[in-house]
Each structure stands twice: as structure tokens, then as C-alpha cells.
Structure 1
Amino acid sequence: MSLDDLVDLCRSWRLVECAVIESLEPERCAFSFVEEMIEAREYLAAGAPTSDKLMAEVEIHQAIVQLSASERLNGFMLRLTNELQLVLPLINSASHFNHFFLARHRGIFELLREGRKEESKVLIDSCLVDLHRQLVRLYRKSISNSEPFQRGHRSGDDLGARNG
């Protein structure tokens, strides 16, 4: 996977998840699955390998998309996750995945459960921008000694551009 591919994957992930949040009807959602994912991530925070922590991070976001009850969106997120798993073995710096995201997940979850979609969307967008920047930075670091054709051309800075 090239850096361009990772940036595109992150952008696609962010667009889908923010659109899902925007379209949710919180009063009709079963939030228990999302809460279970957050609790699992909190459990892993203590000492799991970074790839496990990152996969748990991704699973929380998959759970949010599953709230849409759309097989197409779930399938799309599954494909993105499968692509992301190509990158995970290269990211092995545990210090980059910490309690910073855990507090935000809990906040996003509470806002969703309370039906405060706009606030939740802003928080999830910010969380995803930060997560994706970390992924791009760690991936760039991991491929810094690889062949130029594998690196791609983007800087990853365009991840912060806000959705209209």
C-alpha cells in the first residue's frame, strides 16, 4: 500500500463515518455494540500490542457505522478495514495509541446516545483527523527507507480539510 492509498483510505473512512453520524436516528439505534467496543478498547489500553490497540480503535469506528443498519456501508467499512490491515504490521510504536482516543470515544458515544448528532459529528471528525494523521505519520516513518515507488506523493496534510 502506498502513502497515497493510505491517505485515500483515511479520507473515505472519514466521509462515510461522518455521513453515518449525520443520518442516524439515535432513538432507533442499539448502542450496546458500540459500548462493548469502547470497553474492549479500554481493556486493551493497559498492555496490548499496538496493532491490537489500533485494530480495536478501528472496530469502534466500524461499530459506529454499523449503527446505520446498512449492509452496503458495513461492507464498505469492512473493505477499508481489510486494506488498513495491510499497514498494521508496519506500525509498531505503542506510545502513539493511548488514552487520548479513549476519552474521545466515550464522549462521542455519550453524545450519540443523547441524540446530539451535530456535536458528535464534530467530535468524531476531529478524532478521525487526528487518528488518520497519526497513521500517516507512523506509516511514513515505517516506509522512509523503502523504495520511492512505494511511498506515494501526498503529505497527509490534506486529511484536515473539513467536509462541506
Structure 2
Amino acid sequence: MGTTESEVGGLAEDRPLLGRTSTAERVADILRGRIAEGYFPPGERLAEDAIGKALGVSRNTLREAFRLLTHERLLVHELNRGVFVRILAVEDVEDIYRTRRLVECAVVQGLGRPPYALEPLDAAVADGERAARRHDWKGVATANIHFHRELVGLAGSARTDELMRGVLAELRLAFHVVDDPKRLHQPYLIRNREILEALRSGERNGAVRLLADYLDDSHRQLVEAYAGLVAAGD
């Protein structure tokens, strides 16, 4: 199933974000955000003409944006068929969690002496809790991703931030396939707060243990749910 002109009409609202100097990077930012939101779900073919018209950009600019997102493993180009939002394999999900465990736990373990700048983490936890009270599980997922990006941000490393931005964007592709987002995300709200409170108390090693257990449990749960859905779709 491909996108139609009416389906991408909402992208016209993003046109002001391009400013006066439309660039492929800015187009890629917009499309990356829409993919993260599930506006373009995994398996969706991106209609070049409709998207280009909605954003008011040239075909060459749009194709360069597609190339950037393909390099980030969010899109895939299929010969004679077009560009599609990527559907992750179970092995991709496994690798994402291996990377998360290596990076996130190392960042927390490598923190210096407290106190730590925890305001962004605090805001992400609060956002997730508010979304849960509204039964907005997509919002909970977004807040959860923000929490882990801010956690890695404690390292103060632009390179690590960029790495995790890509890893967590890929993870969202798996989230969009799972059909019970409440069951997937709700258990981790309290665990995010536990990690936050451990860091607030200066218990770095305790935070590392909580984070490692969190990632192991999340890994098992997502792979189990995702593997079943991917198998059912074959």
C-alpha cells in the first residue's frame, strides 16, 4: 500500500520548517519525525510526487533526503518499486538492544561524581506519566525514547548522542508494529523513575544495575512480541 496525495496533505503544515533555504537535511528531519510518530508506518511506500508537492521541494532534494534516511536504516529502496519505510527483522531488534546495553550502561557507569544534571530526565519521566494518565501510549513511547536519549546525553558527547538518535529511531519502527502498546510501555514508566531517583541519590552503580535489568527485560518482551507478529505476517 502506498501513500496518496490526500494522506500526505498534512505534510504541507511542515513546509514553514524548511525556511528559505530548503535542504535535504531539513526534509530528512521532517520525514524522520513523521516516521517516528508512525505517520508513515513500516512497510509504507513513500510517494515521491505527493511528498515533494506537500513540502514544496524538488525531486532531487527529496531523493537526497531519502538517501540520508536509507543510510540511517529507516528507509529501504527496492528496485523498480520505490522507497519504503523499513520493516525490521527480529535480528535487527536483537542488535539494537545489544547496542543500547553497551552504550547506555557505559554512559551511566562512566558518569563523574554527583550531582548530575537531571532536569531533562525528570521532564521526560513526568511527560510519560502524564501521557499514561491520558491512556496515550504513543505519547508514553515518545517520552520513553526521550528519557533514554537524555540519559545518554549525560555523557556530554555529540557523537554518542548522534549514534543513539539513530538507534532509538530504528527502535520506533519495531514499536509501531506491536499491537499492544500499553502492555509494551506501561511497565517501564516506574522503572524510568527508579533509575532517575537512583541517579538523584548519587547511586550510580545502582542505576547501572537497574538500567541493565530494564534493558534485558525490555529486550525479551519486545523480541517475543515482535517475532510473533513478523511470523504471522509472513
Q: TM-score, normalised by structure 1?
A: 0.81
Give RMSD over aligned pairs.
1.7
Deviation at 1:36, TM superposition (A): 0.2
State the distance in 2 between where 1:6 and 1:127 align.
16
In the alignment, what sits opposite 1:86? 173
State the distance in 1 between where 2:113 and 2:186 align.
26
In the alignment, what sits opposite 2:150? 63
Q: In the alignment, does 2:197 pair up with 1:110?
A: yes
User: Is 79-88 or 7-16 further displaced after alignment?
Assistant: 79-88
In the alignment, what sits opposite 1:3? 90
Q: TM-score, normalised by structure 2?
A: 0.58
Deviation at 1:100, TM superposition (A): 2.8
1:43 to 130, 134, 150: 130
Q: In the alignment, does 2:212 pair up with 1:139?
A: no
Return closer, same or farther for 1:6/1:143 CA change in 2, 3 Å cut-off. same
State the distance in 2 between where 1:127 and 1:26 align.
23
Give 1:77's aligned amino acid: M
In the alignment, what sits opposite 2:183? 96
State the distance in 2 between where 1:30 and 1:59 align.
15
Name which one, 1 or 2, has greater alpha-carbon Rg: 2
State the distance in 1 between where 2:198 and 2:183 align.
25
State the distance in 1 between where 2:206 and 2:110 align.
13
State the distance in 1 between where 2:121 and 2:184 align.
19
Deviation at 1:94, TM superposition (A): 3.2
**1:35–1:109 CA contact under 8 A, matched in 2:** yes
Q: In the alignment, does 2:211 pair up with 1:124?
A: yes
Deviation at 1:136, TM superposition (A): 1.1
Deviation at 1:126, TM superposition (A): 0.5
For 2:233, what is the secondary structure of its paired residue? coil
Query: Would you identify which runs of 4 or more consecutive aligned residues in structure 1 move more than 4 Å?
Result: none
Q: In the alignment, does 2:121 pair up with 1:31?
A: no
- Higher helix share goes to which structure? 1
For 1:121, what is the secondary structure of its paired residue? helix
Deviation at 1:99, TM superposition (A): 4.5
State the distance in 2 between where 1:92 and 1:56 align.
19
Q: Deviations over 1:115-139 (max 9, x none)?
A: 1111110011101111122211221
In the alignment, what sits opposite 1:160? none
State the distance in 1 between where 2:142 and 2:219 align.
13
